[in-house]
A and B are shown apart, each in its own frame.
Chain A
Amino acid sequence: GAVVSQHPSWVICKSGTSVKIECRSLDFQATTMFWYRQFPKQSLMLMATSNEGSKATYEQGVEKDKFLINHASLTLSTLTVTSAHPEDSSFYICSARRPSPFSGANVLTFGAGSRLTVL
């Protein structure tokens, strides 16, 4: 249980186009999801916190107009990279808190990630 599905796994696009990445919690509801970005051989950096029914909270330095986040339902959050450029090429990974019998754990379950390559 507690699966987070992320789609697409791989995407290649031309510079200037927009790309949408979906993150779904398959068997639980997630009022909050987190979007991370990971450049090659680096750690995961938090981009934004996605809140169902309200605006996302972006980390410092992340352009909210470029990385549009929509959390329209309790099981779906989307990240749209608008007017993508080669420097946006990265591994984008979403996560959601899965229900746990140990409430203190609040374990985050991650999607499999989406590798974006902008040509």
Chain B
Amino acid sequence: AQKITQTQPGMFVQEKEAVTLDCTYDTSDPSYGLFWYKQPSSGEMIFLIYQGSYDQQNATEGRYSLNFQKARKSANLVISASQLGDSAMYFCAMREGNSGNTPLVFGKGTRFSVIA
């Protein structure tokens, strides 16, 4: 079964609009972490935001916020005031447990495009 599901192959918005990129996850481990990474065409993976399973508040990092709904097992990324430079692939990922030696499992990604 898929551990990370991103149902939107592609999304596009106009500049300055907000967008929500969907992510649902599946785990039976009570301790886990959820991550969002951005991958521009250059290929590098850029860390955006992290949410721990025990965190009481939704994570925020500048224009990025994570809408964490634990009961629904969803961790949607919200990007406010989109900019042209936000156009990239966005991957949701999960780490089960809280060990630093556990790898991330990635979703299939969403291609996000911002149009002028």
Residues of A within 8 A of B (CB): 31-32, 34, 42-46, 49, 51, 91, 93, 95, 97, 102, 104-113, 115
Most interface-central of A46, A97, A107, A115 (chain B CB within 10 A): A107
Q: State how many residues of chain B have any CB contact under 8 Å with chain A.
A: 25
A77 to chain B, nearest CB (A): 13
- Once A and B bind, how many residue pairs between them come within 8 Å at the CB atom? 61
**CB contact between A104 and one of B33, B47, B101, B104 (< 8 Å): that residue:** B33
**CB contact between B47 and one of A42, A45, A102, A108 (< 8 Å): that residue:** A108
**A-B residue pairs in contact (CB < 8 Å), sample of 27:** A34-B103, A34-B104, A42-B108, A44-B45, A44-B106, A45-B106, A46-B103, A46-B104, A49-B101, A49-B103, A51-B101, A93-B43, A95-B45, A95-B104, A104-B52, A105-B33, A105-B50, A105-B52, A106-B33, A106-B99, A106-B100, A107-B35, A108-B104, A110-B37, A110-B45, A112-B42, A113-B45
Further contacts, 20 of them, CB under 8 A, given A51-B101, A95-B45? A31-B101, A32-B100, A32-B101, A34-B103, A44-B91, A46-B104, A46-B105, A95-B104, A104-B52, A104-B98, A105-B33, A106-B98, A106-B99, A106-B100, A107-B50, A108-B35, A109-B47, A112-B43, A112-B44, A113-B43
Residues of B within 8 A of A (CB): 33, 35, 37, 42-45, 47, 50, 52, 54, 91, 95, 98-109
Separation of A38 and B109 alpha carbons in the complex (Å): 12
B45 to chain A, nearest CB (A): 4
Chain B residues closer than 8 Å to A105, beta-carbon distance: 33, 50, 52
CB pair B52–A43 under 8 Å, yes or no, is no
Chain B residues closer than 8 Å to A45, beta-carbon distance: 106
Separation of A98 and B105 alpha carbons in the complex (Å): 17
Q: A105-B33, A106-B98, A108-B104 are in contact. Are A93 and B45 (CB under 8 A)?
A: yes
